[in-house]
Structure formats: C-alpha cells, structure tokens
C-alpha cells in the first residue's frame, strides 16, 4: 500500500499526505523525529507489555487478526503488514502487526490460557487505547500491564 509506506527518516505518508515530525535540536542540527512528549519527558515512544491470564480465543486466528487490526485503529495507528503463525501442536498463535508507528505483537499459550502482548508506538498514537479492544477480544480473567518509555533523552 503506497499510502501507508514509510517515506524516509522522520516522516511518513498516511492517506496520501506526508506528516513531518516535530523538530528538536541536538547540538545545532535540527532533527525530524516522532518522539513523544509526556509528563515533561521526551522519548521515542511508549512500550506496553501486557499479560492476559485466563484468556479466551487464543487459537482463533480470525479473532487474533481482527483484534490486532482494531487495536491499531483505536490508537490511530497506521497498519503496514500483519504476519500470524499458528502452531499445530497446541494451536497457539504468534504474530505481529507492523505499524508506521512501530508494532503490536502477540504470543498465545492456549494450554495455559495465557497471552503475552507487546505494543510499541511513537508519535501521537496512544497505545493505551488498544487495551479495551484487546480485552474485549480475549476476555482475560486477570491481566498485568507494564509501561516502558523507550529512548528517553538525557
């Protein structure tokens, strides 16, 4: 999809338009990036690590695909490519949705009713907006969430 392809460092194309990033100054050289500003910090993006326990639909390829795509839409992210692999032994699924703004990945262990989900986004996308969509799809009995701010500038 040409409309959603990367167009070089510091800019991307979305629906036919190039969106340059904010400029920051490193020394005296302006740099285009998609760094996030939150709580007085400037960093590359928010990385969420989500564990779902007592989860459902972990072998349903269509549910996994739809959940990843809908999660990206909910965060206002641009999907580029989806790759899912399902294992014959237990039906577990490993997959990644590559985004212009980074990625959403999932690994399921249906024999343990467990899913490990990884969401990393830069720019104006909000990875927290993905959580409700994912919870609706996988109906976890329990979940944990860790946030990591990647690329914190000193």
Distance CA 137, CA 149 (A): 26
Residue 12 neighbours by CB under 8 Å, 6+ apart: 5, 6, 18, 19, 78, 100
- Which residue of the set 47, 74, 103, 122 is catalytic? 122
What sign does the dihedral 140-144-149-150 (CA atoms) show?
negative
- Which residue of the set 94, 107, 113, 143 is catalytic? 107
Main-chain dihedrals φ then ψ at residue 115, nearest 5 degrees: -135, 135
Q: Is 122 a catalytic residue?
A: yes
Distance CA 62, CA 55 (A): 16
Q: Is 26 a catalytic residue?
A: no
| Contact status, residue 101 vs residue 36, Cβ threshold 8 Å | no
Q: Is 107 a catalytic residue?
A: yes
- Which residue of the set 74, 102, 103, 125 is catalytic? 102
Dihedral over alpha carbons 131, 136, 140, 145 (to 10 degrees): 0
Q: Looking at the annotation, which residues are catalytic?
A: 102, 107, 122
């Amino acid at each position: 999809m040409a409309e959603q392809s990367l167009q070089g460092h510091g800019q991307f194309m979305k629906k036919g338009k190039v969106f340059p990033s904010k400029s920051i100054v490193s020394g005296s050289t302006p740099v285009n990036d998609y760094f996030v500003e939150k709580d007085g910090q400037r960093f590359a993006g928010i990385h969420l690590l989500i564990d779902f326990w007592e989860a459902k639909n972990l072998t349903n390829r269509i549910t996994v695909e739809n959940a990843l795509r809908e999660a990206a839409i909910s965060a206002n992210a641009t999907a580029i490519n989806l790759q899912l692999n399902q294992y014959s032994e237990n039906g577990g699924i490993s997959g990644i949705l590559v985004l212009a703004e980074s990625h959403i990945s999932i690994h399921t262990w249906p024999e343990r009713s467990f899913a490990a989900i990884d969401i990393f986004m830069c720019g104006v996308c909000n990875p927290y907006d993905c959580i409700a969509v994912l919870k609706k799809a996988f109906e976890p009995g329990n979940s944990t969430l860790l946030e990591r701010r990647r690329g914190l500038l000193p």
